[in-house]
Copies of this chain bind each other. A is one copy, B any other.
């Protein structure tokens, strides 16, 4: 029987590197060992290597990897991170899409509230519009001070943490996180509305379209969208140009300069509420969404070409000017033509149709509007993961948000944002009006925190060095935005703002809890010098090991051999869930004349894990050794589906033993062939 002999032959005690070399045990016969040269490691010094990208093994792993490459692209090394400096023209495009795009819905949302009191309330749109432009001016001038004070970037979270401390910093961060979620939800919903206004047959598909847009943005951002000025410039300037053209045509029509109008049959709404100050304030709150995104320039100062701060201040002023004129121009024309918001068509679309219905320019306006809105959503896809990274770095969010994926994007933040906003859009039916009550609370809270921080910042500069003008400007900014925050929270409270008012403290509490946990862990893991000194003493040889075995076979034999190689005192344990199995094993054990004691636990209730854990704890107590090892024989099937045919006892035992201190758990694998 030559075959039997081959199996009995002494296994080679030496590993031979190279392809398709047999393993040291019969079961490993067909497993290929890689040679050292094949390993994806490049030596660069004594004990230092650089790793090359690894390839997954097996058909499923390779398919998944290929799919990922297709969607996300090849992995980028950390050194490949881009560092682009932006000119003022490009910076305006990159940083203003969020702010400018709100022109697409701000006027409409004011009117939606006003017409609840009927057409009599319609004219209030003008003073409200003016108030919002004034508010915009105050906020822009305030942020110009921030840029001067923080030429290296004045993100709200960092500025607030610096000047007001950790807690207010977290409040600002929580406000911003909710706000970024709403920016994505509102902007994609408004972008889809711009599309469905032009193609009304798509209206029933609006939720699907919005979710598809968010999915595309998620994938694009996982690929790592560079905030490249060139790519961003086109839609932004297309939008600015088309809107100014539209306003010019509107002005010409007003002055009677030969523009043929296409009046839209508007349904004059019945009043359903009395016109109260509260209603006017609520309309103002809805319109204040126009200001979201104004802080972006101040956050991004380091991306400007030098002189950074100077260029950023100029850009911010231009952005304010463009936003102010576009918003107020749209509002005046809407008022002039007495356009009334409807469910199915946006006001901008109504305005464009009134002036240029049927012409290619109408479609150009809608396309430009949709583009800048999706771009605005994209901005939040850059901002949310970056803020989450800063918070994770400060241990206020889970570690996972720190990790940069294959393409250097903060994958966890991007995926979380994509999922949360998709759910929100589905819950609110992709309706801007249903989302707007949740919006702007967070933004204005963040504005208030940021401006208050600036006041503290200037005050700290010390007697005589305080710039009183800046202090006054930021003081005014802080006071105004604080009042507006309160107005928004109050007037929109029952319509949805309560969610955000509740969510922000919950988020802060969660972040504090996470922080407490991480600090706790760090404290418990920190090594004292005395502990390090103790390390210098020799360590005694390991004493006790326990080997749970199901039967006497090669896998358990190998585990027993391993246990003897690491410990002086080895005990084998067996749980007999069928009464005979214990007796059979005891007999085989005696026949084999093994010098390892065998303990049998009969389990009349057919439990396996419970009695195993109990006997291991018992042996642990008896041995009196501070630390014992449980050596688990594991056989590894050649194919994953074969695992279904085995009861995964090893895995369940590991999970149960993980709860017990002073226990090392070792898996000794026995790889099955074929």
Contacts and interface: CB of A to CB of B under 8 A. Distances in A.
So how many copies of this chain end up in the complex? 2
Query: How large, as a class, is the contact surface on chain A?
Result: 35 or more
Contacts of A266: none
A629 B559 CA distance: 12
A625 interface: yes
B620 A50 contact: no
Contacts of A50: 601-604
A406 to B, nearest CB: 7
Interface in A229-247: none
A562 B35 contact: no
Interface string A303-340: 00000000000000000000000000000000000000
Interface stretch (A39-47, A84-92, A434-442, A477-485): A39-47
A619 B10 CA distance: 24
Contacts of A40: 610-611, 614
B614 A39 contact: yes
Interface stretch (A215-223, A395-403, A490-498): A395-403
Interface of A: 4, 7-8, 10-15, 17, 23-28, 31, 33-36, 39-41, 44, 47-54, 57, 75-79, 398-400, 403-406, 514, 517-518, 520-521, 524-528, 530-532, 534-536, 539-542, 552-555, 557, 560-562, 564-567, 575, 578-579, 582, 592-595, 597-607, 610-611, 613-615, 617-618, 620-622, 624-627, 629, 631, 634-637, 642, 644-647, 654, 658-659, 661-674
Contacts of A33: 621, 661
Nearest to A36: B621
Contact of A36 (B53, B622, B645, B664): B622
B621 A15 contact: yes
B672 A659 contact: no
B535 A51 contact: no
A57 B34 CA distance: 44
A662 B28 contact: yes
A22 to B, nearest CB: 10
A614 B78 contact: no
A363 B601 CA distance: 56
B621 A75 contact: no
A595 B644 CA distance: 45
B35 A593 contact: no
B552 A662 contact: no
